[in-house]
Chains A and B, each alone.
Chain A
Amino acid sequence: MERSRRSFLKILGISTLGLGTLSSVDLLAKAGMGKAEFAPDPKGMTGKRWALVVDVKKLDEDTTQKAIEACHLIHNVPDYGDEDNEEIKWIWTDKYEHAFPGTEHEYLAAEIEEKPFLLLCNHCANPPCVRVCPTQATWQREDGIVMMDQHRCIGCRYCMAACPFGARSFNWKDPRTTYFKDKEPPNPKYPTRTKGVVEKCNLCAERLAVGEMPACVEAVQDSKAIVFGDLEDPHSEVREVLHEHFAIRRKPELGTNPNVYYIV
């Protein structure tokens, strides 16, 4: 109701402008049009450069599955199976040699070789996907999160060609008429997608807004395998763990400046 009243007022405002009566526009402006329409939730988290630190030593099959499941349930990510090359991936695991190609060698420590590395969008500080998108359907927020507007995306997949981390997935088929045809999407509060748009991890922007940790971080909080925080805040937990441990990032030589770190 509120919304339609507002758009009615807007149309009214534009029509009056068309008639050339400036005074009535002033009147409408005084009536409160043009002011901020939403106030942020006071509980919401604010940061300047969100980052994740994944402690690979604390990860095992079980923990990674917990993180993946939590994310996919909350965001209604369809599970087409690993074998489907139209798979949608927000957070997933792969071996070291695939996560860090070019850095593997024949005599890699057995422990590292077998470890499941948790992979997701790096929310790069210098994101090539944002640079190439022709409609700004993918953009970078002030807190560093690389967001995706599935209502604006035209499905050109230029961002998928640009992302060097394979973090973007395209809805080749319609999840609503295939995977969710006979079952309800697990989270009614989060929209399912249509065919023809790109999607990816949003660092749980919708959860941060109400003061909740990203779902993957929360799911493994007992083991503290994933730490979340603001890199610009010197007292944040991410800065502390990065100070204490040697951590690496995926493909740093490409200059995208990833914000997901791995303690190995």
Chain B
Amino acid sequence: MLETALKGSKKYWILIGVLFGLHGMGATAFLYQLSKGLTVTGMSRDVSWGIYIAQFTFLVGVAASAVMVVLPYYLHNVKEFGKITILGEFLAVAAVNMCLMFILVDLGKPMRMLNVILHPTPNSILFWDMVVLNGYLFLNIIIGWMVLSAERKEVEPPKWVKPLIYLSIPWAVSIHTVTAFLYAGLPGRHFWLTAIMAARFLASAFAAGPALLILLCLIVRKVSKFDPGKEAIQKVANIVVYAMIISIFFVVLEIFTAFYSQIPGHMHGFVYTFVGLHGHGNLVPWTWAFAVMAVLATLMLLCPPLRKNEKTLAISCLLVFFSLWIEKGITLVITGFIPNPFDTITEYVPTLPEIAITIGVWATGFLILTILYKIAVSVKEEIAS
């Protein structure tokens, strides 16, 4: 099937070219970072994880897109999703690839990466995150590829794929849970030390991933002869509404616990992100952007005419995606380090090389996504004709 990615319109090749160019820019910045060390980033002794790990955290959520179409299709026989499970699975593949790349660029000694496998350490959550992420990647590559190639040959996929599909459903839950455990189990980091962290991760993942999937479906319909189907898109939109409401609800729960209990450690993180603490407030505009976009998106999605109109639905999905990107891709991770263990504040601002590497990884992920989607769409067009 790979050959279908080698034939495409001029626009397809321009897109590939642009993404490849951005990948090159990121790779160059990464070589610079490798030679100088992570000193070229804005991270410090006090804020020791920055946007790399934050992007990783957000993208684990995007990888959830797959399970939100696979589960209804295979467990509840929601036929509309039959056409788009492949889009969800390939989006998951691209997202997990980005996750792994973001971890790689964050390591001080990336050449020693395999030490995680050479010295397996079951008491480390990071070890388990490596296991579940790689497992999820392989599951989605195998499932997506087998089902699509069977579809192309107009035969049933081999029987052994079914158990893998069922396995991929709880596995998707595991990647969010384990990633949330990275944060939720650390003593002294009050902002992260919350039992609903994994639930929050799942809720926001099931909003952000499917929202991106809707946007991608709309793009696919526009640029190809393959139509994912209005009903399928509407059904995914319903999932996004529920997940978004639960996401906001969970944030409200956190705020209540912190401010009604009045325990300083629990309040500080929220005070820092919403209004600033001791004169420091780099994340205040971001947090409000998140809050406004999240509420606006939810209201728009709740309003049936606005949800059923695909133009306004697209705007809502953009708002969902960017609001949750701010929440998990910026504020959640950075605020965890503020204030530091000495109750003082060091601000964090990413540097140019850091932003270049971040854009490079995103571009590489979208390059993978473009190629995979080109293959999927070509096969769908081929069957239809």
List the interface of chain A (C-beta within 8 A of B): 85-87, 89, 94, 97-99, 101-102, 128, 131-137, 152-158, 160-166, 169-174, 195-198, 251, 254-256
Chain B residues whose C-beta falls within 8 Å of the C-beta of A256 in the assembled complex: 187
Q: How far, in Å, is B120 (CB) from chain A's closest CB?
A: 9
Chain B residues whose C-beta falls within 8 Å of the C-beta of A163 in the assembled complex: 188, 341
Q: Which of A99, A101, A155 contacts B109 (CB 8 A)?
A: A155
Q: Is B343 part of the contact surface with A, judged by Cβ < 8 Å?
A: yes
Chain A residues whose C-beta falls within 8 Å of the C-beta of B189 in the assembled complex: 161, 164
Q: How far, in Å, is A223 (CB) from chain B's closest CB?
A: 25
Chain A residues whose C-beta falls within 8 Å of the C-beta of B48 in the assembled complex: 157, 160-161, 170
CA distance A164 to B48 in the complex (A): 13
- Please state if B186 and A195 are interface contacts (CB–CB under 8 Å): no
- Please state if A171 and B108 are interface contacts (CB–CB under 8 Å): yes
* Residues 124 to 160 of chain B near chain A (Cβ within 8 Å): 124-127, 130
- Please state if A102 and B264 are interface contacts (CB–CB under 8 Å): yes
- Please state if A161 and B186 are interface contacts (CB–CB under 8 Å): yes
Q: Can you name 5 extra interface pairs (CB under 8 A) apart from A157-B106, A158-B124, A195-B39?
A: A152-B112, A157-B48, A164-B189, A166-B342, A172-B38
Q: Is B344 part of the contact surface with A, judged by Cβ < 8 Å?
A: yes
CA distance A192 to B112 in the complex (A): 19
- Please state if A161 and B49 are interface contacts (CB–CB under 8 Å): yes
- Please state if A196 and B124 are interface contacts (CB–CB under 8 Å): no
List the interface of chain B (C-beta within 8 A of A): 36-39, 41, 43-46, 48-49, 103, 106-110, 112-113, 115-116, 118-119, 121, 123-127, 130, 182, 186-189, 264-265, 336-337, 340-344, 346
Q: Which of B112, B342, B346 contacts A99 (CB 8 A)?
A: B342
| Most chain A Cβ neighbours within 10 Å, of B123, B125, B188, B189 | B188
Chain A residues whose C-beta falls within 8 Å of the C-beta of B346 in the assembled complex: 85
CA distance A152 to B113 in the complex (A): 10
Q: Which of B44, B112, B124 contacts A131 (CB 8 A)?
A: B124
- Please state if A195 and B341 are interface contacts (CB–CB under 8 Å): no
19 contacts between A and B (CB under 8 A): A86-B39, A87-B45, A131-B124, A134-B124, A135-B121, A154-B112, A156-B103, A156-B107, A161-B48, A162-B186, A163-B188, A164-B188, A164-B189, A166-B341, A169-B45, A171-B108, A172-B43, A196-B107, A255-B187
- Please state if A154 and B38 are interface contacts (CB–CB under 8 Å): no
Q: Which of B38, B127, B187, B344 contacts A196 (CB 8 A)?
A: B38
- Please state if B45 and A86 are interface contacts (CB–CB under 8 Å): yes
| Most chain B Cβ neighbours within 10 Å, of A97, A157, A173, A197 | A157
Closest residue to A89 on the B side, CB-wise? B45
Chain B residues whose C-beta falls within 8 Å of the C-beta of A155 in the assembled complex: 38, 107-109, 112
Q: How far, in Å, is A157 (CB) from chain B's closest CB?
A: 5
Closest residue to A158 on the B side, CB-wise? B126
- Please state if B116 and A134 are interface contacts (CB–CB under 8 Å): yes
